Protein backbone atom coordinates (compact mmCIF):
# COMPACT_ATOMS: atom_id res chain seq x y z
CA UNK A 1 0.00 0.00 0.00
CA UNK A 2 2.98 2.27 0.34
CA UNK A 3 3.18 2.86 -3.38
CA UNK A 4 -0.57 3.63 -3.54
CA UNK A 5 -0.29 6.18 -0.76
CA UNK A 6 2.73 7.73 -2.44
CA UNK A 7 0.87 8.04 -5.75
CA UNK A 8 -2.13 9.61 -4.02
CA UNK A 9 0.21 11.94 -2.17
CA UNK A 10 1.82 13.14 -5.39
CA UNK A 11 -1.55 13.56 -7.14
CA UNK A 12 -2.90 15.58 -4.25
CA UNK A 13 0.16 17.82 -4.25
CA UNK A 14 -0.14 18.32 -8.00
CA UNK A 15 -3.72 19.51 -7.52
CA UNK A 16 -2.65 21.91 -4.79
CA UNK A 17 0.11 23.32 -6.98
CA UNK A 18 -2.38 23.78 -9.81
CA UNK A 19 -4.82 25.63 -7.56
CA UNK A 20 -2.04 27.84 -6.26
CA UNK A 21 -1.04 28.73 -9.79
CA UNK A 22 -4.53 29.88 -10.72
CA UNK A 23 -5.04 31.75 -7.44
CA UNK A 24 -1.60 33.36 -7.76
CA UNK A 25 -0.86 32.31 -4.18
CA UNK A 26 2.49 31.37 -2.69
CA UNK A 27 2.92 28.50 -0.28
CA UNK A 28 5.81 27.97 2.06
CA UNK A 29 5.77 24.69 4.04
CA UNK A 30 7.58 25.34 7.27
CA UNK A 31 7.11 22.36 9.54
CA UNK A 32 5.68 18.85 9.76
CA UNK A 33 2.41 19.98 11.35
CA UNK A 34 1.58 22.16 8.36
CA UNK A 35 2.43 19.33 5.97
CA UNK A 36 0.18 16.98 7.94
CA UNK A 37 -2.64 19.54 7.86
CA UNK A 38 -2.35 20.00 4.10
CA UNK A 39 -1.80 16.39 3.04
CA UNK A 40 -3.80 14.56 5.69
CA UNK A 41 -3.57 10.84 6.36
CA UNK A 42 -1.24 10.15 3.44
CA UNK A 43 1.45 12.06 5.28
CA UNK A 44 0.87 10.11 8.48
CA UNK A 45 0.74 6.68 6.85
CA UNK A 46 3.70 7.08 4.51
CA UNK A 47 5.69 9.10 7.07
CA UNK A 48 6.86 11.49 4.36
CA UNK A 49 9.23 14.13 5.64
CA UNK A 50 8.61 17.72 4.75
CA UNK A 51 11.64 17.92 2.43
CA UNK A 52 10.38 15.17 0.10
CA UNK A 53 7.98 17.42 -1.81
CA UNK A 54 8.16 21.18 -1.23
CA UNK A 55 6.91 24.19 -3.13
CA UNK A 56 9.57 26.79 -2.49
CA UNK A 57 8.27 30.28 -1.84
CA UNK A 58 8.58 32.57 -4.83
CA UNK A 59 10.23 29.93 -7.07
CA UNK A 60 7.62 27.19 -7.51
CA UNK A 61 10.34 24.51 -7.52
CA UNK A 62 9.42 20.96 -6.56
CA UNK A 63 12.13 19.08 -4.69
CA UNK A 64 12.31 15.36 -3.98
CA UNK A 65 14.45 14.41 -1.00
CA UNK A 66 16.20 17.74 -1.27
CA UNK A 67 16.90 17.55 -5.03
CA UNK A 68 15.21 19.81 -7.55
CA UNK A 69 13.05 17.92 -10.03
CA UNK A 70 14.98 19.65 -12.82
CA UNK A 71 18.28 18.44 -11.37
CA UNK A 72 16.97 14.89 -11.29
CA UNK A 73 15.69 15.09 -14.87
CA UNK A 74 19.03 16.52 -15.98
CA UNK A 75 20.74 13.30 -14.95
CA UNK A 76 18.88 11.30 -17.60
CA UNK A 77 20.85 12.90 -20.48
CA UNK A 78 23.96 12.88 -18.29
CA UNK A 79 23.49 9.12 -17.90
CA UNK A 80 22.99 8.66 -21.64
CA UNK A 81 26.24 10.48 -22.43
CA UNK A 82 28.10 8.63 -19.67
CA UNK A 83 26.60 5.30 -20.78
CA UNK A 84 27.75 5.77 -24.36
CA UNK A 85 31.16 6.87 -23.15
CA UNK A 86 31.34 3.86 -20.84
CA UNK A 87 30.41 1.21 -23.40
CA UNK A 88 32.66 2.72 -26.07
CA UNK A 89 35.72 3.67 -24.00
CA UNK A 90 35.16 2.24 -20.51
CA UNK A 91 35.22 5.72 -18.97
CA UNK A 92 31.62 6.35 -17.95
CA UNK A 93 32.74 7.95 -14.69
CA UNK A 94 34.52 10.64 -16.65
CA UNK A 95 31.09 12.20 -17.25
CA UNK A 96 28.85 10.90 -14.47
CA UNK A 97 31.12 11.30 -11.43
CA UNK A 98 31.89 15.03 -11.90
CA UNK A 99 28.20 15.64 -12.62
CA UNK A 100 27.25 14.03 -9.30
CA UNK A 101 29.84 16.15 -7.52
CA UNK A 102 29.14 19.53 -9.08
CA UNK A 103 25.57 19.39 -10.41
CA UNK A 104 24.01 17.36 -7.59
CA UNK A 105 26.42 18.61 -4.93
CA UNK A 106 27.07 15.16 -3.48
CA UNK A 107 30.13 14.42 -1.35
CA UNK A 108 32.78 12.20 -2.96
CA UNK A 109 31.81 8.93 -1.25
CA UNK A 110 28.08 9.39 -1.89
CA UNK A 111 28.78 10.27 -5.53
CA UNK A 112 30.87 7.12 -5.90
CA UNK A 113 28.12 4.95 -4.40
CA UNK A 114 25.39 6.48 -6.60
CA UNK A 115 27.61 6.15 -9.66
CA UNK A 116 28.24 2.45 -9.05
CA UNK A 117 24.60 1.69 -8.35
CA UNK A 118 23.59 3.42 -11.59
CA UNK A 119 26.26 1.61 -13.62
CA UNK A 120 24.34 -1.65 -13.14
CA UNK A 121 21.89 -0.43 -15.76
CA UNK A 122 24.72 0.33 -18.16
CA UNK A 123 25.70 -3.36 -18.15
CA UNK A 124 22.08 -4.40 -18.76
CA UNK A 125 21.72 -2.10 -21.76
CA UNK A 126 25.06 -3.25 -23.15
CA UNK A 127 24.17 -6.93 -22.72
CA UNK A 128 20.90 -6.52 -24.65
CA UNK A 129 22.66 -4.62 -27.42
CA UNK A 130 25.72 -6.92 -27.65
CA UNK A 131 24.10 -10.34 -28.09
CA UNK A 132 25.68 -10.63 -31.54
CA UNK A 133 29.20 -10.16 -30.18
CA UNK A 134 28.55 -12.33 -27.13
CA UNK A 135 27.22 -15.27 -29.15
CA UNK A 136 29.53 -18.23 -28.56
CA UNK A 137 31.27 -16.46 -25.65
CA UNK A 138 28.76 -16.93 -22.82
CA UNK A 139 30.92 -19.51 -21.03
CA UNK A 140 33.92 -17.22 -21.19
CA UNK A 141 31.78 -14.33 -19.95
CA UNK A 142 30.58 -16.42 -17.00
CA UNK A 143 34.14 -17.14 -15.88
CA UNK A 144 35.13 -13.49 -16.13
CA UNK A 145 32.02 -12.36 -14.24
CA UNK A 146 32.67 -14.88 -11.47
CA UNK A 147 36.16 -13.50 -10.81
CA UNK A 148 34.88 -9.92 -11.12
CA UNK A 149 32.00 -10.73 -8.74
CA UNK A 150 34.23 -11.89 -5.89
CA UNK A 151 36.66 -9.08 -6.56
CA UNK A 152 33.80 -6.60 -6.36
CA UNK A 153 32.85 -7.93 -2.91
CA UNK A 154 36.39 -7.34 -1.67
CA UNK A 155 36.47 -3.85 -3.14
CA UNK A 156 33.12 -2.86 -1.64
CA UNK A 157 34.25 -4.02 1.80
CA UNK A 158 37.47 -2.04 1.46
CA UNK A 159 35.52 1.08 0.47
CA UNK A 160 33.46 0.98 3.67
CA UNK A 161 36.39 0.12 5.95
CA UNK A 162 39.31 2.13 4.57
CA UNK A 163 39.46 5.87 3.91
CA UNK A 164 39.42 6.78 0.24
CA UNK A 165 42.58 8.82 0.72
CA UNK A 166 44.52 5.59 1.29
CA UNK A 167 44.10 4.67 -2.37
CA UNK A 168 43.89 7.99 -4.21
CA UNK A 169 47.64 8.35 -4.64
CA UNK A 170 48.03 5.14 -6.62
CA UNK A 171 44.85 5.45 -8.71
CA UNK A 172 46.46 7.75 -11.34
CA UNK A 173 49.12 5.09 -11.93
CA UNK A 174 46.49 2.44 -12.72
CA UNK A 175 44.59 4.77 -15.03
CA UNK A 176 47.72 5.92 -16.87
CA UNK A 177 48.89 2.32 -17.24
CA UNK A 178 45.56 1.34 -18.80
CA UNK A 179 45.65 4.30 -21.17
CA UNK A 180 49.19 3.57 -22.34
CA UNK A 181 48.49 -0.13 -22.84
CA UNK A 182 45.40 0.67 -24.92
CA UNK A 183 47.47 2.99 -27.12
CA UNK A 184 50.25 0.44 -27.64
CA UNK A 185 49.55 -1.88 -30.59
CA UNK A 186 48.85 -5.50 -29.69
CA UNK A 187 50.61 -8.41 -31.38
CA UNK A 188 47.45 -9.67 -33.01
CA UNK A 189 46.05 -7.96 -36.06
CA UNK A 190 43.51 -5.19 -35.63
CA UNK A 191 39.95 -6.45 -35.79
CA UNK A 192 37.70 -5.20 -38.55
CA UNK A 193 34.96 -2.78 -37.75
CA UNK A 194 32.10 -4.26 -39.77
CA UNK A 195 30.90 -6.85 -37.32
CA UNK A 196 27.89 -7.88 -39.36
CA UNK A 197 29.98 -9.25 -42.25
CA UNK A 198 33.33 -10.07 -40.65
CA UNK A 199 32.54 -11.40 -37.20
CA UNK A 200 32.16 -15.15 -36.89
CA UNK A 201 32.62 -16.55 -33.35
CA UNK A 202 32.91 -20.11 -34.68
CA UNK A 203 36.16 -19.20 -36.44
CA UNK A 204 37.62 -17.54 -33.36
CA UNK A 205 40.32 -19.51 -31.58
CA UNK A 206 41.86 -18.78 -28.21
CA UNK A 207 45.49 -19.08 -27.26
CA UNK A 208 46.50 -22.28 -25.60
CA UNK A 209 47.12 -21.30 -22.00
CA UNK A 210 49.12 -23.13 -19.43
CA UNK A 211 47.62 -23.70 -15.99
CA UNK A 212 49.90 -21.06 -14.49
CA UNK A 213 48.89 -18.47 -17.06
CA UNK A 214 45.21 -19.23 -16.51
CA UNK A 215 45.59 -18.77 -12.76
CA UNK A 216 47.42 -15.51 -13.37
CA UNK A 217 44.61 -14.23 -15.59
CA UNK A 218 42.00 -15.20 -12.98
CA UNK A 219 43.95 -13.40 -10.24
CA UNK A 220 44.34 -10.27 -12.37
CA UNK A 221 40.63 -10.32 -13.22
CA UNK A 222 39.81 -10.65 -9.51
CA UNK A 223 42.08 -7.69 -8.68
CA UNK A 224 40.44 -5.58 -11.38
CA UNK A 225 37.06 -6.47 -9.86
CA UNK A 226 38.34 -5.45 -6.41
CA UNK A 227 39.61 -2.16 -7.81
CA UNK A 228 36.26 -1.59 -9.49
CA UNK A 229 34.36 -2.28 -6.27
CA UNK A 230 36.60 0.10 -4.32
CA UNK A 231 37.20 3.03 -6.65
CA UNK A 232 36.40 1.99 -10.20
CA UNK A 233 37.84 4.77 -12.36
CA UNK A 234 39.10 3.22 -15.63
CA UNK A 235 38.65 -0.32 -14.29
CA UNK A 236 36.90 -1.18 -17.55
CA UNK A 237 39.99 -0.13 -19.49
CA UNK A 238 42.18 -2.39 -17.35
CA UNK A 239 39.91 -5.38 -18.04
CA UNK A 240 39.83 -4.56 -21.75
CA UNK A 241 43.64 -4.42 -21.83
CA UNK A 242 43.81 -7.80 -20.09
CA UNK A 243 41.37 -9.38 -22.57
CA UNK A 244 43.11 -7.86 -25.59
CA UNK A 245 46.49 -9.15 -24.44
CA UNK A 246 45.45 -12.66 -23.40
CA UNK A 247 42.84 -13.71 -25.99
CA UNK A 248 42.53 -13.83 -29.76
CA UNK A 249 39.03 -12.37 -29.67
CA UNK A 250 38.30 -9.32 -31.78
CA UNK A 251 38.25 -5.91 -30.13
CA UNK A 252 34.47 -5.57 -30.39
CA UNK A 253 34.03 -8.95 -28.67
CA UNK A 254 36.39 -8.04 -25.82
CA UNK A 255 34.64 -4.69 -25.52
CA UNK A 256 31.27 -6.45 -25.14
CA UNK A 257 32.71 -8.91 -22.61
CA UNK A 258 34.16 -6.00 -20.66
CA UNK A 259 30.93 -4.00 -20.62
CA UNK A 260 28.80 -6.86 -19.30
CA UNK A 261 31.40 -8.34 -16.94
CA UNK A 262 32.01 -5.04 -15.15
CA UNK A 263 28.31 -5.03 -14.32
CA UNK A 264 28.97 -7.91 -11.91
CA UNK A 265 31.26 -5.74 -9.79
CA UNK A 266 28.73 -2.90 -9.78
CA UNK A 267 25.84 -5.21 -8.83
CA UNK A 268 27.62 -6.81 -5.89
CA UNK A 269 28.94 -3.44 -4.75
CA UNK A 270 25.44 -1.95 -4.85
CA UNK A 271 23.98 -4.83 -2.85
CA UNK A 272 26.68 -4.35 -0.24
CA UNK A 273 26.14 -0.57 -0.14
CA UNK A 274 22.39 -1.08 0.29
CA UNK A 275 23.05 -2.80 3.62
CA UNK A 276 26.18 -1.08 4.89
CA UNK A 277 26.17 2.39 3.29
CA UNK A 278 23.75 5.12 2.31
CA UNK A 279 22.52 4.93 -1.28
CA UNK A 280 20.66 7.97 -2.62
CA UNK A 281 18.17 5.99 -4.69
CA UNK A 282 16.29 9.06 -5.89
CA UNK A 283 19.45 10.02 -7.79
CA UNK A 284 20.17 6.45 -8.93
CA UNK A 285 16.84 6.25 -10.79
CA UNK A 286 17.30 9.03 -13.40
CA UNK A 287 21.01 8.35 -13.82
CA UNK A 288 20.31 4.62 -14.16
CA UNK A 289 17.69 5.25 -16.85
CA UNK A 290 20.25 7.28 -18.77
CA UNK A 291 22.89 4.57 -18.33
CA UNK A 292 20.44 1.95 -19.62
CA UNK A 293 19.80 3.94 -22.79
CA UNK A 294 23.45 4.86 -23.27
CA UNK A 295 24.53 1.29 -22.63
CA UNK A 296 22.24 0.13 -25.42
CA UNK A 297 23.46 2.77 -27.89
CA UNK A 298 27.19 2.39 -27.20
CA UNK A 299 27.79 -1.09 -28.70
CA UNK A 300 26.06 0.00 -31.91
CA UNK A 301 28.53 2.88 -32.19
CA UNK A 302 31.48 0.53 -31.62
CA UNK A 303 30.37 -1.56 -34.60
CA UNK A 304 30.72 1.32 -37.05
CA UNK A 305 33.72 3.23 -35.68
CA UNK A 306 37.26 2.19 -36.66
CA UNK A 307 38.91 0.20 -33.86
CA UNK A 308 42.06 2.30 -34.11
CA UNK A 309 40.05 5.47 -33.53
CA UNK A 310 38.32 3.97 -30.49
CA UNK A 311 41.64 2.87 -29.00
CA UNK A 312 43.24 6.27 -29.51
CA UNK A 313 40.20 8.06 -28.07
CA UNK A 314 40.13 5.71 -25.07
CA UNK A 315 43.85 6.10 -24.43
CA UNK A 316 43.76 9.89 -24.62
CA UNK A 317 40.74 10.16 -22.32
CA UNK A 318 42.37 7.75 -19.86
CA UNK A 319 45.54 9.84 -19.75
CA UNK A 320 43.47 13.00 -19.22
CA UNK A 321 41.65 11.30 -16.35
CA UNK A 322 44.97 10.10 -14.93
CA UNK A 323 46.26 13.67 -14.94
CA UNK A 324 43.17 15.03 -13.18
CA UNK A 325 43.40 12.31 -10.52
CA UNK A 326 47.13 12.98 -10.11
CA UNK A 327 46.56 16.72 -9.75
CA UNK A 328 43.80 16.11 -7.21
CA UNK A 329 45.76 13.56 -5.17
CA UNK A 330 49.01 15.52 -5.00
CA UNK A 331 47.56 19.04 -5.34
CA UNK A 332 49.82 19.68 -8.34
CA UNK A 333 48.59 21.46 -11.45
CA UNK A 334 50.85 21.50 -14.48
CA UNK A 335 48.55 23.64 -16.63
Tell me the pLDDT tens digit for each residue of 125-171.
999 999 999 998 999 999 999 999 999 888 878 877 776 566 677 77
Handedness of CA 114, 296, 255, 326 (dihedral sign): negative
> Per the confidence metrics, is the pTM higher than 0.75?
no
Cα first-last separation, the chain: 56
Spatial CB neighbours of 12, under 8 Å, sequence gap ≥ 6? 39, 40, 42
pLDDT for 214 equals 80
Residue 53's Cα: distance from chain center in Å?
27
DSSP string, 23-59: HT------SHHHHHHHHHHHHHHHT--TTSSEE-TTT
pLDDT for 224 equals 92
Reduced to 3 states, what is the DSSP secondary structure of residue 189?
A: coil
Tell me the pLDDT of the chain averaged across its residues: 76
Task: Give CA–CA dist 17/38, Å, rounded.
Answer: 12
296: confidence class by pLDDT, cuts 50, 70, 90:
very high
Is the CB of residue 93 less than 8 Å from the CB of residue 233?
Answer: yes
Is the CB of residue 76 less than 8 Å from the CB of residue 289?
Answer: yes
Task: Give CA–CA dist 126/130, Å, rounded.
Answer: 6
Calculate what percentage of the chain has a pLDDT beyond 90. Answer: 33
Handedness of CA 79, 82, 87, 90 (dihedral sign): negative
pLDDT for 5 equals 45
pLDDT for 119 equals 92
Of residues 49, 33, 40, 32, the one with CA closest to residue 15: 40
61: confidence class by pLDDT, cuts 50, 70, 90:
low
pLDDT for 188 equals 56
pLDDT for 186 equals 67
Spatial CB neighbours of 226, under 8 Å, sequence gap ≥ 6? 151, 152, 154, 155, 158
196: confidence class by pLDDT, cuts 50, 70, 90:
very low
pLDDT for 248 equals 85
Q: Which has more pLDDT, 36 or 86?
A: 86
285: confidence class by pLDDT, cuts 50, 70, 90:
very high
Q: Which has more pLDDT, 324 or 11?
A: 324
pLDDT for 148 equals 92
Q: What does the pLDDT look like over 236-261, one tens digit per residue?
A: 899 999 998 888 889 999 999 999 99
Of residues 325, 288, 244, the one with CA closest to residue 96: 288
Q: For 106-125, what is the mean pLDDT?
A: 89
- Give strand pairing partners of 67: 64
Q: For 82-111, what is the mean pLDDT?
A: 88
Amino acid sequence: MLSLYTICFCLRNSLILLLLKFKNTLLDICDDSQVSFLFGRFYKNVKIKKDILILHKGRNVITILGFSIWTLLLFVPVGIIAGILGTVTGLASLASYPALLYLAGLPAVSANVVNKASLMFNAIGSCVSSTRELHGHWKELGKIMLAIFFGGISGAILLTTLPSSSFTHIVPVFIAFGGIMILLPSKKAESKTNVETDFDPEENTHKVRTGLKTVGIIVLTYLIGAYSGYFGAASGILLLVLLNRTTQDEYVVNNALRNVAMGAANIVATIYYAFYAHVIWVMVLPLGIGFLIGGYIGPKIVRVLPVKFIRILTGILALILAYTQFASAYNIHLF
